[in-house]
A and B are shown apart, each in its own frame.
Chain A
Amino acid sequence: MTKLSDTKSPAHDRNGKKLTSLAIRRVILEQSKRAHEGHIGSNLSIADIVAALYGQVLRLPAQYEDRDRFVLSKGHAALALYSALFLKGILSEEQINSFCMDGSLLGVHPEHTLKGVDFSTGSLGHGLSIGAGAALAAKLQKSSRRVFVLLSDAECNEGSIWEAAMFAAHHRLSNLIAIVDANKQQALGYTDDILRLSPMIKLWQAHGWDAVEIDGHDVPALAGAMNKPAPQGSAPRVLIANTVFGKGVSYMEGKIKWHYWPMSDEEYRQALADIEVRS
């Protein structure tokens, strides 16, 4: 069941690129522009989280059984994942340049048939259940692998998230780490206006999780929190990662429009310049 080549190497060079949040943002912008696709703001808000995961957290040895699992439950931000997989050398330049093209495995939402993607996602509210099952499996198999699930804050509108949250806490799945991309926006507005979830941390604590708030753009802090050892039998951990929607691009930050909107040529030039100084 080996899906990946050996990715143990800490060097993230590929074609002179390094796996940094800036590099991820650059690929997100390049590919969104080329493919004339939206979801740019949602991708940009998780660039630092994905940089931490793929740069410093996920253990991806050749042996599939020992590999950490990652579920991108907010599947609409697959481009951020593809960008990290590309910068890590798991996807080729040709593959990343096929994003949203006819006959490409790199669609708007991730497909498990693509090397490096553990689970297909896109329907919100599904990923934490899968992650809970994956974590339970690791526990039953006495494996040290960990399971990371990246959720959006609006995704927590889905009742199934809380079914999974209760299960994971009840079974003390200490090998399960959820990260909530708390960018406070959703498709049609601000989360607090649509269905209030704040204070998010209290919702998770009430469900029995070890919940902490964290700056979702601080890569070392994110990596440290994700890698924090969890004693066997302790509660599952959730990082409420406070992020800025569209982070790095001045005119996108905090703007609902950029959930779906693609960039014009002028906007693209501005965005590329912005991320150099703002992220």
Chain B
Amino acid sequence: MRKAFIQTLVSLAAEDPRIVLLTGDLGYTVIEPFVEKFPDRFFNVGVAEQNMTGIATGLAEAGFIPFIYSIATFASLRNYEFIRNGPILHRLPVRIVGVGEGFEYARAGFTHHAFEDLGVLRVQPGITIISPADFRQAQSSLNAAWNLPGPVYFRLGKDDRTEVPDLNGRFALGRTQLIGSGSDLLLVTMGSVTANVAKAARLLSAKGVEATIAVVSNFNPSPAEDLAALLASFPLVLTAEIHYTVGGLGSLVSEIIAEKGLASRLVRCGIKGMPDGLSGSLAYLYEKHGLSDKALAETALKELEYAADPK
């Protein structure tokens, strides 16, 4: 997604001189197209994410649209208070680009795994949060949100090849995008795990279980209305995210179910607690945390069985 994102940013920057790009010394083999085209509008601030966020605040107040780029943990956690007291408090158009969803920097380990970025930013009013499902949504969401008046957080996956079937890059702020129309189960998903969810839906279909997939790609504006309407039709809903099950998509769906008084039972798939430090490939981590296509399908089947015969 990150390369597609930068390509789109280059096109936007060619049209709008307010766009500048700052990095905290990351983005090798990704950001070069921007750097080559706009060397005077690119600043590597060094390994200093707090400062990068403060600089972006000063730039935005003067009329620029600064994009600040780093690995998701460093882009959202190290500088969290600078985001809060800067672009959020001042309502400025700073764009925070956090790369690496959840455990995508697999073997790099816990310090590079963003498990709570969506949660900590979702509680802040006034910041739009975007987590595309694939590279095409990374492009469409950037095209939709680059010129918003307030701050935006983009959580970008590293995969620039996988395309979620039938999503076709559809994106609208505050809306969910549907794939399929099964009535047995609702799968609510966010980010690059959506590709696994789509595969899981096919595995389920082969076993006679038809699911609807609701792709949530942004918080603030909240997709609550779309989700509430959907949730009302499903007794069982699974959420999938490469994030702690607290604070992100699963929490959002819980809030909607509770506030609307809906009867859906919710199963939250994601990172359920403090990781144990065991390292491995991305595939290993998807499996370990129950987010592979097979693991998601198994969870769905188990929960459907439970729903049919709760003991």
Interface residues in chain A, defined as those with a beta carbon under 8 Å from any beta carbon in chain B: 65, 69, 112, 118-123, 125-126, 128-138, 140-141, 147, 159-160, 163-164, 166-167, 171
CA distance A159 to B63 in the complex (A): 27
The A/B interface has a contact count, at CB < 8 Å, of 97
Within 8 Å by CB of B89, from A112, A138, A140, A159, lies A112
Chain B interface mostly: helix
Min CB gap A120→B, angstroms? 5
Q: What residue of chain A has the Cβ atom nearest to residue B84's Cβ?
A: A123
Contact of A163 among B40, B51, B56 (CB under 8 A): B51
In the assembled complex, the CB of B40 is this many whole angstroms from the nearest CB of chain A, namely: 8
Q: Does B256 contact A (CB under 8 A)?
A: no
Contacts of B63 in A (CB 8 A): 65, 137, 141
Cross-chain contact B89 with A120 (CB below 8 angstroms)? yes
Contacts A112-B89, A126-B86 hold; do A137 and B51 have CB atoms under 8 A apart?
A: no
Give the chain A neighbours of B189 by CB distance below 8 A.
none
**A interface footprint on B35-56 (CB within 8 Å = 1, 0 otherwise):** 0000011010110101101111
- Structural contact, A132 and B89, CB atoms closer than 8 A: no
Partner of B64, one of A112, A119, A137, A147: A137
A160 touching B90 in the complex, CB below 8 Å, given contacts A134-B62, A136-B58, A167-B46: no
Which B-chain residue is minimally distant from A159 (CB atoms)? B50
Q: Are A133 and B46 in touch, CB under 8 angstroms?
A: no
Q: Which residues of A contact B62 (CB under 8 A)?
A: 133-134, 137-138, 141
Pair B55/A133 contact, Cβ less than 8 Å:
yes
- Contact in complex: B51, A132 (CB < 8 Å): yes
In the bound complex, CA of A166 to CA of B43 (Å): 14
Instruction: Supply 29 A–B pairs (Cβ within 8 Å), ascending by A.
Output: A112-B90, A118-B61, A123-B85, A126-B82, A126-B85, A129-B55, A129-B57, A130-B54, A130-B55, A130-B61, A132-B51, A132-B58, A133-B56, A133-B60, A133-B62, A136-B43, A137-B64, A140-B20, A140-B40, A140-B41, A140-B64, A159-B50, A160-B51, A160-B82, A163-B46, A163-B51, A164-B55, A167-B51, A171-B43
Of all chain A residues, the one with the shortest Cβ separation from B64 is A137
Other A-B pairs, 16, CB within 8 Å; known A131-B58, A133-B55: A119-B57, A126-B81, A126-B82, A126-B86, A129-B55, A130-B55, A132-B54, A133-B57, A133-B60, A136-B59, A137-B64, A138-B62, A164-B54, A167-B48, A167-B51, A167-B55
Distance in Å: Cβ of A54 to nearest Cβ of chain B: 20
- Chain B interface size, under 10 / 10 to 19 / 20 to 34 / 35 or more: 20 to 34
Which of A131, A137, A163, A171 is within 8 Å of B50, CB to CB?
A163
Chain B residue nearest in CB terms to A158: B50
Cα(A118)–Cα(B64), bound, Å: 16
CA–CA, A163 and B45, complex, Å: 9
Within the complex, the shortest CB–CB distance from B35 to chain A, in Å, comes to 16
- Complex CA–CA separation, A122 to B82 (angstroms): 12
